[in-house]
Amino acid sequence: MPNITLRHPEDVMKLSRLGSFHQSKLSFLRSFIREFKNWEFNRDIFDLDKYGYGVAVYSVRKNKRVYSLICFSQLINAEERSDRVIATKWDAAFVLHDGVPTKKDIERLKENVPKQEIGRMSNKELALSRANRSVRIFDYVVNSLSSGKQPDTNLLNKVGYLYRTTAVYGSGKFGLADRFRIKDREEICGPFRLEMMLVYLVRQFTFDQINHISKMKNPDEFISLDKKIARNLGIGNSTGLGMAPFIVNHPTLLHQWIYNRETALKEIRLIENVKEKEIKHFKFCLEKSKKNIVSWFTDSKYQNKKIKSLKNDLVKFKEYFSNLDFVNKKYLWNEVYLWIDKYLDEECSEYLISMMMEPYDKIIEPLVKNMSSDEDKYFNIPSSRKLLDLKKIIEAKYNSILNINFKDKKSNTFFWFISKNKEEPRIAKRFDEPGSDLEQPLAIARDIKKLYEKISDQNLSKTVADFLVDHDELRHVVRRIFISEKFQYSEIQDNTISETLIPIDMLRLKLSFFGAQKFDPRSDKWLRICMYQGAPLVNELKNSDDNWIYNSIN
Amino acid sequence: MMSFSEIETVSKRASKATGYSWGISEEIGKSVRVLEMFNLPGISTLNQYLKKIKNKHPKKLKNISKINKSDEELCPIYTGVSILDNCNRLENINIIKFFNINYPLLIIPFLSRSSEITNKTIHATLDEVKFTLNSNKTIFTNIEKSNVFKNTKELTIEFSENKNLFTDIEWKELYKLSENTFVPESDSLKNSAAGAGLTDND
């Protein structure tokens, strides 16, 4: 049997690799659909005027559990519409409510939800979002449908959605319910499941709304949006730097995500006899998925280079794989993986790893249930341990970080801060712009190295508690080091303030676990994505299969 | 109403803004969250304390001994962190006294977490007010809920071994009663119930 282990964190946790991750069976969109496919979806209220403004309520129900999406759609002027997170008005605002909302709840939420960050929710609300109509296609689709024509799919495919969100909030933000209140519910055990539910229901609202507006515009000639076309539309999302600190601030959660992905890869490589139907399934998904690559449009040079590399490598892979002799081959996937790792770039390697998971529900499903983390459990610092322990852990877990020269300005180029205007994370150049005195504790590599240098001068038999009395400025990284001792994939093995940092790599890592596709960087600090493109419509859920992600008709 | 997540985040940031390090501020965020979860005035107490130290940051407590007195008022946060970091050593001292602690309610969550780490109940007495802290799961107190202490003359903390509060006789009596849920084994049950018929002499 070949010696197959988990990939080493120093290989996996580099930003260039993490920024090459793609959606997989572990992704939250897909696990949401699998979990909720047998729930009952209803449109309970649809009180919109002829322009589509008003209130709508959708519910998701099973036994006694009900979740309701309340949608508020309003008129905004063109100049008020902005897809930046700094906007203050949106075409539509949404909240996911726990249970069936009363009239009083809806009135209360009507006053607050459209205000988003400056409104207040209650602990009966679970997630909050807003979205704008696509300027490129929304009116065009209305005009088409109201004149009895289906819209041109070529144009729709370039956009991929009718609405684009700019934020989806959960877990206690703006008065929403804290995660601990609901975390034990079996159906929402996975991370971000409620946010995924919200986005899925918003997608249905966008279809219902556009049909409604089109019908009101010209009831005689109107036709409904073709289901095939609707299925191929998702919900857009503009995502900025707000997501990047999340993966630094939640080390045990990050570990769970990566560890499960790596465990899946290891278990697949360990399959001794790969069945023919599994190879067939892999080939089927790979072939279908190529449509998503061909229809992956971006103006970003950075992303286009990656897409080009992906396309080229997929050609190489196809040739390799079609010449592979499967008969009596033991540990086929291991051999394939070793070839991929040797000959292909990270973008394609990670793509194919996601594909290799496709035939293996039995491996993936137990891992999906293990994607969350009880973070508070690991918050205490084991301060009675010795500095020698701390030093050894740093040397073992942060070896490559210790080689970074932080005396070099290039290693200290950026600092992370929270903007006063929007209370959102931002990044700026340390030596050019003010504010670095209010730097957020996200320069983990720099602080780990600082700690290492500090303890190297100390008596290593000293306890961590004694050391911290005089060095509490390093307490936040001491905590992390003990976490990384238990959780090997909890740290990004890179410098998050380096001149070479590409922040969207951090966003893409998180978004790939969400299940987003078609990453479209608009700069090195924000990007657009599409969620649920190809997903079954609510009335198709029961009979849907998990390959929907590759059902794009592009 | 603010969520506990907001309470933790704002407490952490406000503490950092007042001069605590990020690591200490993280501890403060968790502590205020614990106080508010137990319906104790965490935010009010922190707010008043941070205002008090705005212009003069408190000193750290370098070492904890059986009796802890200082010319200056003790900082509840540095004292709390110090107790937390040293709780495995301090549990052997058993009873520890601190004098002149500012806004002492802020020390309670650190004692609560120390109780969890040492697996011992901690009794804390802040002048007339008593707290019993069990493994960071429960906090019993006779404090008036809205009372924001500004200062305590004396804080006594006692690590107590977890021991039963009942007598042997009480236990035996209750155990005897519990036996009434068992089925007496007849000869036929002895022959047919689990394990019957097997010989495990080896």
Contacts of A465 in chain B (CB under 8 A): 82, 85-86
The two tokens of residue A386 are 């010795």
List, for residues B102-130, the tens digit of each pLDDT value. 999 999 999 999 999 999 999 999 988 99
Does the pLDDT of residue B165 top 90, yes or no? no
**pLDDT score, position A328:** 82
List, for residues B131-164, the tens digit of each pLDDT value. 999 999 999 999 887 777 788 889 999 999 878 8
CA neighbor of A191 nearest in space, from A514, A516, A486, A488: A514
User: In the block, which residue shows the tokens 């609300």?
Assistant: A125
**pLDDT score, position B62:** 84
For residue B84, the distance in angstroms to the closest alpha carbon of chain A comes to: 9
**pLDDT score, position A297:** 76
Does the pLDDT of residue B50 top 80, yes or no? yes
Single-letter code of the amino acid located at A29:
L
For residues A64 and A207, give the distance between their C-alpha atoms in angstroms, rounded to a whole number.
28
**pLDDT score, position A446:** 97
Total domain count for chain B? 1
A78 half-sphere exposure, CB direction, 13 A CA radius? 3
In a domain, B195, yes or no: no
- What does B133-192 look like in DSSP terms, one character per residue? EETTTEEEE---TT----EEEEEEEEEE----SS-HHHHHHHHHHHGGGSPPPPHHHHHH
In this prediction the ipTM stands at 0.89
For residue B62, the distance in angstroms to the closest alpha carbon of chain A comes to: 6
**pLDDT score, position B171:** 95
**pLDDT score, position B144:** 80
3-state helix, strand, coil in chain B (%, to 5): 45, 20, 35
| Total residues belonging to chain B | 202
Contact assessment for residue A172 and residue B3, using Cβ atoms and an 8 Å cutoff: yes
Contact assessment for residue A373 and residue A255, using Cβ atoms and an 8 Å cutoff: yes
CA neighbor of A237 nearest in space, from A207, A196, A266, A273: A196
Residue of A178, A379, A464 with shortest CB distance to B30? A379
Whether B3 and A465 lie within 8 Å, measured CB to CB: no
Does the pLDDT of residue B78 top 70, yes or no? yes
Whether A475 and B23 lie within 8 Å, measured CB to CB: yes
Residues 6 or more apart whose CB falls under 8 angstroms from that of A551 comprise A231, A232, A288, A534
Residues 6 or more apart whose CB falls under 8 angstroms from that of A386 comprise A460, A461, A462, A463, A464
Residue of B2, B22, B89 with shortest CB distance to A175? B2
Residue of A172, A465, A479 with shortest CB distance to B3? A172
For residues B11 and B4, give the distance between their C-alpha atoms in angstroms, rounded to a whole number.
10
Does the pLDDT of residue B202 top 70, yes or no? no
Strand partners, A142: none
Does the pLDDT of residue B197 top 60, yes or no? no
pLDDT in tens, chain A (554 residues): 889 999 999 999 999 999 999 999 999 999 999 999 999 999 999 999 999 999 999 999 999 999 999 999 999 888 787 766 667 889 999 999 999 999 999 999 999 999 998 999 999 999 999 999 999 999 999 999 999 999 999 999 888 999 999 889 998 999 999 988 888 898 988 889 999 999 999 999 999 999 999 999 999 999 999 999 999 999 999 888 888 899 999 999 999 999 999 999 999 999 999 999 999 999 999 998 888 787 777 788 888 898 999 999 999 999 999 999 888 889 999 999 999 999 999 999 999 999 999 999 999 999 999 999 999 999 999 999 999 999 999 999 999 999 999 999 999 999 999 988 777 889 999 999 999 999 999 999 999 999 999 999 899 999 999 999 999 999 999 999 999 999 999 999 999 999 999 988 999 999 999 998 878 888 877 888 899 999 999 999 999 989 898 876 54
More confident call, B6 vs B94 = B6
Q: Which three-class secondary structure string do you get for A146-165? A: HCCCCCCHHHHHHHCEEEEE
Strand partners, A71: A56, A94
Contacts of A469 in chain B (CB under 8 A): 60, 62-63, 82
Contact assessment for residue A241 and residue A424, using Cβ atoms and an 8 Å cutoff: yes
- For residue A425, the surrounding DSSP H or E stretch is strand A425-429
B26 at A interface, C-beta within 8 A: yes
**pLDDT score, position A162:** 97
For residues A271 and A174, give the distance between their C-alpha atoms in angstroms, rounded to a whole number.
47
Q: Is A234 helix (H, G, I), strand (E, B) or coil?
A: strand
Give the chain B residue whose CA is nearest to the CA of A121. B1
| Surface of B (79-118) touching A: CB under 8 A | 81-82, 84-86, 88-89, 113, 117
The two tokens of residue A508 are 């893409």
Residues 6 or more apart whose CB falls under 8 angstroms from that of A100 comprise A44, A59, A66, A68
Domain range for B117: 4-160
Positive/negative CA dihedral, A310, A316, A319, A322? negative
Long-range CB contacts for residues B38-44, cutoff 8 Å, separation at least 24: B38/B139, B39/B145, B40/B105, B40/B108, B40/B139, B40/B141, B40/B143, B40/B145, B41/B105, B41/B145, B41/B146, B41/B147, B41/B148, B42/B7, B42/B11, B42/B105, B42/B106, B42/B109, B43/B7, B43/B11, B44/B146, B44/B148
Give the chain A residue whose CA is nearest to the CA of B1. A175
Residue of A172, A384, A473 with shortest CB distance to B6? A172
Residues 6 or more apart whose CB falls under 8 angstroms from that of B56 comprise none
Phi, psi of A107 (to 5 degrees): -65, -45
H-helix segments, A113-192: 138-146, 153-159
Whether B85 and A441 lie within 8 Å, measured CB to CB: no
Contact assessment for residue A365 and residue A263, using Cβ atoms and an 8 Å cutoff: no
Residue A421 CB coordination number (10 Å): 8
Give the chain A residue whose CA is nearest to the CA of B89. A384
Chain A residues whose C-beta is within 8 A of a chain B C-beta are: 122-123, 171-180, 376, 379-381, 383-384, 418, 441, 464-465, 468-469, 472-479
Whether A464 and B113 lie within 8 Å, measured CB to CB: no
For residues A415 and A428, give the distance between their C-alpha atoms in angstroms, rounded to a whole number.
6
Question: Beta B67-68 vs B95-102: how paired, if at all?
Answer: parallel
Whether B22 and A177 lie within 8 Å, measured CB to CB: no
